[in-house]
Every structure is written in structure tokens, then in C-alpha cells.
Structure 1
């Protein structure tokens, strides 16, 4: 192999390895990755575990409303518009305000992750206000994959740790089991690097919104305009079981 080709191949392998590591661990500590979280028991023997985290300069009570209104047709996922257009073209803009009408989230609720016909949704398996939110899905397969024997079982878990100094540690964990082998291979190769982009953007989006509204003193009385509230409520697609 020519030296130039060898250098290129080495760089590509290193870049792929870095994206795999970042897609699994970005922002999290070793202790956080080892820690048991609510909802871990829902996916047995996961083949993929990712952990991401960030510190937010606000209390858990200020962060929770932004988690409670997540979902397609609700507050969305707080990713940048370029990320939505690149990875999730059906997503609309994420909410920049807390919408009181979207705060009543309960165990058993279905939270969409795309248009209803896309068969991408989560079920709320657990929550404790200001502490944690557990979302569980056995959907999220491309069209036709289930008919070929493909399957997925995964959780998204959001945990709020009060640091005791007015700050919050937000942990975001995904545990996934995929079958058969070809589905797992595609997920590992493509989705973990994409998860780095999505998770990083989501955590940044939540943090910036929380800190902006908290510093402005708007959490206790969210300053959403009537038009913004009405539009968010019209787009609600959460289905109660």
C-alpha cells in the first residue's frame, strides 16, 4: 500500500473510532456511565449503550418543563434546524418557550418521534417530576425492515441531578437491543455517529433554553405569546393510552 493511501486509511479508521467513542460517551463521566438509572431494566442484555451529559446553570425545576413537552408535534427535541433538515426532515422547529398546555405528561402516554404514519413513537414508562423521564420504543424501523425480520427495543432516559449549587446535571442514556446481525451492524456503523450529533445538539438546545429563560426570570411565568401557545397546542399529537 502506498504511503498516502496508508495514511488516508489510518486517518479514516481513527475518525471512525473517535465518532464511535463520542457517540457513546459525549459529555459523560466514567462514573455516570457505570451508574444504574431508572429504566435500565426495560432492555435486557443491550448491545448498544450510549451516555451523554451536560451541566445546566439552573435548578431541576427549571429544566423539567422542557423535558415534559418534548416530542414530535409538541416541543420537538431542541436540535438545531440544520440537524433536523439533515437527519430528521419531518421535524418542525423546536419550541423556544415553555407551553403550559404540554406539561401534563403521564406514564402510559405515547410521545411521537415523527408523523403518525412513520410508526416512530415512544411510550412513557416512568417519570418523576424534576427527577427523571423514561421513554421506551420497539418501533423506529425503516419501512419494510420489520417484514424482513428486523427488530429494535430501546429506551431513552433523561435524569436530572441537583448539584446543590443552583446547577443541574442532565444525563441522557440510550440502551438498545437490535436484531438480526445486519440491523445491528447498520446501527453501529451509522446511528452511533449520528447519535453524537443529535444528542450533543439536543443537550445544548435544552441547556441554552433553560439558562436563557431562567436568567431572564421567566420560568415561573413563561413568556410565551398567545400565538406561540396556540400553534404548539394545535400541533399536539401525544396520544393517551
Structure 2
């Protein structure tokens, strides 16, 4: 387990940053909504985008990782409550009852995302795996049904198929991570958040840009930065092991 995201000081500072961003609202919004992203990242049509063709708002965050996608993907694949955590501010998440434990190693038992079918944000809140391509794309969605005023994702099981006569589930929110080659053999890790236009009051609150966007910025920035550091650490370790295995010329 990693100590990243566990210290009271770092979590306290993160909490203050969230409050600050909530209070300042639109003043820094443009920078927050495209943190680390290039104009190409922001304008790109990422896999899963077709699930919310006319979003109320989107945010795109990104980092460049000095490691190949195959080294980055295992950390992405094991995201989730009861899995590898979210590599973010663990104490803040657990104050809300999320029961998160961040991993600092690859967990082989949590690498098959497609078989899992869902990724839990908290014990009673899950996102459905809508699309997964190893070392490339992970698309997660929150489902809801027309006229359903419950919080999207509550007690949702994999697929959560509608019964006879019930309306089909709608996508109430989308979170996706994408890995693409970067110069020098590295990886561009891009996160996309997308929310549709909502009608019910409860879903408007759940997907409110004024509420969700500042919080997700602080948490996502920490998550992406820690995934980068973990993947690069593994790359450095692997390279060192390989060097030790080579015969010395001295």
C-alpha cells in the first residue's frame, strides 16, 4: 500500500483547495477543466463520447508518463473501491464512507476489468464498464432510468438490465481514461469527464458542474499524477533489473 493520499496534512490541504475552488467557481474553471490537456486532447472524440452526444459539460485532464502504455495500464485496470483505490486523497474519500485503500503495487487479481463488469466508487455506488481495450481505453458510465430520482449509480449492478416493460437505462455520467503513444516511448494518459443535460432536480445536483467540476479537478489531478509516478517507478525498476542482468564491460 502506498502512503500517497494518506497523510492528514496533504488531505487537509486538498480539502482546503476544494473549498477554495468551490468558492471561486468560474474564475479558474477554464484552467481546471483542461488541466494538463492540449487543445488536441480537449477537441478529440474519445471512445465512449458517443454515449453522451450532447453533453451539458465535459472536462479533460491529462499527464505524460515516461513509460509505455503496457506499464501504465495495470494501474488503470485496477482502479476502484475494493480494488486498487483511486491513487488520490484517501482520507477525504473515506470521510464520505468510500472505504478506499490505495495500492502501490500491481494487483494481478484485479486486472480483468471486463470480467469485473463494474468499478465501485464506494460500497453502494458503482459505474458500469461500458468499454475496455487493454492498454488503450477504459470507459465507465453511471446509469439511470427515465423518471428515476435516485442518485445515479446507487446499487447498480453490472449491466443493470431493465425488466419487462421498464425503460432502458440512460447514461447519467461518463468517466473514461485513454492511453495513447507519446514521443520517446512514453504514454499520454487522458481523462475525460462528461455529463448529459438533466431534467430531474436530484440528477442536476449530482451532475452539477459548479459542484462536481472543482472536486473532480483536485482529486483527478492527484490521481493522474500518482499513476504517472507509479508507472514510471516500475519502469525505472524494470530498466535497472535489466541493466543488472547485462554483462559488464568494465
TM-score by length of structure 2 reads: 0.70
1:124 aligns with 2:111: no
8 A contact 1:76–1:92 mirrored in 2 = yes
Q: Report the RMSD for the aligned CA atoms in angstroms.
A: 3.0
Where structure 2 has 5 or more consecutive residues not aligned to the other structure, the ranges are 1-20, 152-169, 242-250
8 A contact 1:159–1:170 mirrored in 2 = yes
8 A contact 2:35–2:60 mirrored in 1 = yes
8 A contact 2:64–2:182 mirrored in 1 = no
How much does 1:200 deviate?
0.5
CA distance in 2, matches of 1:107, 1:34: 31
8 A contact 2:51–2:171 mirrored in 1 = no
CA distance in 1, matches of 2:120, 2:231: 23
How much does 1:165 deviate?
1.1
CA distance in 1, matches of 2:23, 2:122: 33
Counterpart secondary structure, 2:86? coil
1:90 aligns with 2:98: yes
Aligned to 1:48: 57
8 A contact 1:131–1:161 mirrored in 2 = yes
CA distance in 2, matches of 1:219, 1:171: 28
Q: How does 1:9-28 map to 2 (within 5 A)?
A: 15-28=24-37
Counterpart secondary structure, 2:185? coil
Tell me which of 105, 110, 113 is aligned to 1:102: 110
Tell me which of 159, 172, 188 is aligned to 1:169: 188
C-alpha change, 1:89 and 1:208, in structure 2 (3 Å) is farther
CA distance in 2, matches of 1:169, 1:75: 21
How much does 1:164 deviate?
4.0
Where structure 1 has 5 or more consecutive residues not aligned to the other structure, the ranges are 1-11, 221-241
